[in-house]
Amino acid sequence: MAVKFLGQFLMERGVITPQQLLAAIEAQRASNPLLGELAVRHGLLTEAQARRINDRQRADDRRFGDIALEMGLLDAAQVDTLLAAQKAGRKLFGQVLLEQGVIEPARLEAELAAHRADQDAANHALAVGVADHALAELANGAIQLCGRLFPRMLDGQCQAAGVLGVEDMDLFPHVAHVRIDGEQPMFIGMACNLDTMRAMACAFLKIGPERCDDALALDGLGEIVNVLMGYVVRNVLPDDVQYRAFPPGLSTPAATLLADRERSLALLMNSQLGPFVLLVGD
């Protein structure tokens, strides 16, 4: 059992088609622009200024508005106006389906109840699978960081879906990982299929798919993991830990990284760009 987004859940139950899922995701994303996009749209920031703030967010795990205030690019009233506009326009996935005429209200209510029950059971299984592991604190910290970073870096949501074994890794052949050495050696990695890797790299690099070959996509995956590791070091590890970071490794198979199951974890993550595996170990 795996945790699933509502759209994935409905598609697997035959309630909506893949085409309807994609259309609803795009409509929901359009209803919930990032604060920088709203600021540019309202003429409060230039695109270059919004990018400068986004670049700072990659280094600092802080909100867009707080960084804009610190840089003197927006004032408090402008940030409040943007947040209010963002909240007012945001639509839930079910609301989008209703507006698009894909599902009737009564059917949606029934499916939402079924989805909540499925989520509760899957989340319990995930929590149990991680709780007793030696790397539970690191894994939970990395999961939370992914949830915060994906909307900022990749313009999409992600959530933990379950715990995988080495035998499942054949479905995720493209792997990047970053290792740190020192008082608390550890690694963070991501494994995915080619479609997800290319989608993530294009979103991260802000380029179209026609400009992203497989080699560039793998490099992009490595940079995403590198950013994630930076946040893990700052937010999860103790402040007084001394460490030395290595460049992203792009050739080590996931099965090798997961060889010691007592000292590593493979966490299935669902994202709007495709499924991937979050790898953590020491």
| Residue extents of the structural domains in the chain | 6-30+92-123, 33-89, 134-281
State residue 1's pLDDT score.
56
Residue pLDDT, tens place only, 137-191: 889 999 999 998 888 888 888 999 899 999 999 999 999 999 998 777 899 999 9
**CA-to-CA distance for 118 and 4, rounded, in angstroms?**
9
Statement: 134-281 belongs to CATH 3.40.1550.10: yes
State residue 125's pLDDT score.
84
Is 80 exceeded by the pLDDT of residue 232? yes
Q: What is the pTM of this model?
A: 0.81
Cα separation of the two ends of the chain:
27
Residue pLDDT, tens place only, 88-119: 988 999 999 999 999 999 999 999 999 999 88
Classify burial at 39, counting beta carbons within 10 Å of its beta carbon; exposed 0-12, middle 13-18, buried 19 or more: buried
